[in-house]
Amino acid sequence: MTRIAIILGSTRPGRNGEAVARWVLENAQARGTAEYELVDLADYPLPHLDEAVPASRGQYAGEHTKNWAATIARFDGYVFVTPEYNHSTSGVLKNAIDYLYAEWNNKAGAVVSYGGVGGARAAEHLRLIMGELQIADVRGQVALSLINDFRDFSVFEPLPFQAAQLATMLDQLESWSGALRTVREPAEVAGA
């Protein structure tokens, strides 16, 4: 079965992302069409990138990097749950992404963003990053407004149409995640 990580891209105290990520997880698991797992960056305390060799070489020295790589390698696709900070994604998410390379390649990615304008700029930056890492980003996206989808900017109450947006995005993500497995499998067999 296709395995998809829901990556919670904020470690900020009082973060809105935890409620968002749990909403994505609950809706995704209810589908029964893929295996979904929440990967909370708070559980992977990665320092600022401290690997001497570029990630594209795959020569990880730190145990924290090796653990992170093993986690990310298990999945066929990713849902990045990101806040928008200063017109971009969070620093902790960018840092976690930068630690790895091959583990991301030829997999699918989707974005659930939140912010003043739905986190649109964070999502666009993530799309550029995904392209460099050979992650096929799907068109569907969930953009949650701090004004409309949160009460008092902190209590997550998504508008009803957001569930349909999420379902469309997950349909695309599951489809692409499964299709890209056929691209990875020949390389995995050759390396065995």
Specify the CATH number for the domain of residue 133: 3.40.50.360
Q: Tell me which residue range forms the domain holding 131.
A: 3-191
Helical axes 91-98 vs 120-132, angle rounded to 10°: 10
155-156 and 150-151: which strand pairing?
antiparallel
Provide mean pLDDT across the span 97-118: 97
Domain count, the chain: 1
* Stretch 178-190: mean pLDDT: 80
- Of the candidates 125, 131, 138, the one whose C-alpha atom is nearest the C-alpha of residue 82 is 125
Confidence band, pLDDT 50/70/90 cuts, at residue 137:
very high
Q: What is the pTM of this model?
A: 0.95
Q: Supply the pLDDT for residue 189.
A: 56
Residue 45 has pLDDT above 60, yes or no: yes
Phi, psi of 120 (to 5 degrees): -60, -40
Backbone angles phi, psi at 65, to 5 degrees: -70, -45
**Residue 185 confidence (pLDDT):** 81
What was the pLDDT predicted at 53? Answer: 97
Please give the Cα distance from 23 to 156 (Å, whole number).
9
pLDDT, residue 75, reads 98
Residue 103 pLDDT greater than 80, yes or no: yes
